Amino acid sequence: ATLAPGADEVRAAAERARATALVSYDPNIRPALTGGVDDARTRVEALVALSDVVKASIEDAEWLYPADAAVDVAQRWVELGAGLVVITDGGDGSLAVTAHARIHVPAVPTTVVDTVGAGDTFMGALLDGILDLAGDTDTLRTRVRGLDADTLPPLLHRAARAAAITVAREGMDPPTREDLQRTAATKESA
Going by DSSP bridges, is the β-strand pair 53-57/24-25 parallel, antiparallel, or unpaired?
parallel
- Rounded CA Rg of the chain: 16
pLDDT attached to residue 183: 79
Q: What does the alpha-carbon distance between residue 106 and residue 118 come to, in Å, rounded to a whole number?
A: 15
**Closest to 96 in 3D by CA, of 130, 67, 63, 65:** 130
Question: Per-residue pLDDT tens for 134-154?
Answer: 778 889 999 999 999 999 999
For residue range 65-116, what is the model confidence (pLDDT) as tens digits? 999 999 999 999 999 999 999 999 999 999 999 999 999 999 999 999 999 9
* Distance in angstroms (rounded) separating the CA atoms of residues 58 and 184: 26
Residue 36: predicted pLDDT: 87
- Whether residue 174 has pLDDT greater than 70: yes
Name 53's bridge partners: 24, 84
The answer to whether the CB of 97 falls within 8 A of the CB of 122 is no
Residue 37 has pLDDT above 60, yes or no: yes
Q: Which of 89, 98, 106, 156 is nearest to 127 (CA)?
A: 156
Which structural domain, as residue segments, surrounds residue 99?
Answer: 6-189
Residue 1 falls inside a structural domain: no
More confident residue, 73 or 181: 73
- What confidence score (pLDDT) does residue 190 get? 57
Confidence of residue 188 (pLDDT cuts 50, 70, 90): low
pLDDT for 134 equals 79
Strand ranges for the chain from DSSP E: 24-25, 53-57, 84-88, 94-97, 102-105
Task: Work out how many domains the chain is built from and give that number.
Answer: 1
Q: What is the CATH number of the domain that holds 89?
A: 3.40.1190.20
**Cis peptide leading into residue 109 (ω within 30°):** no
Q: Look up residue 57 and give its DSSP letter.
A: E
Q: Would you state the pLDDT for residue 3?
A: 82
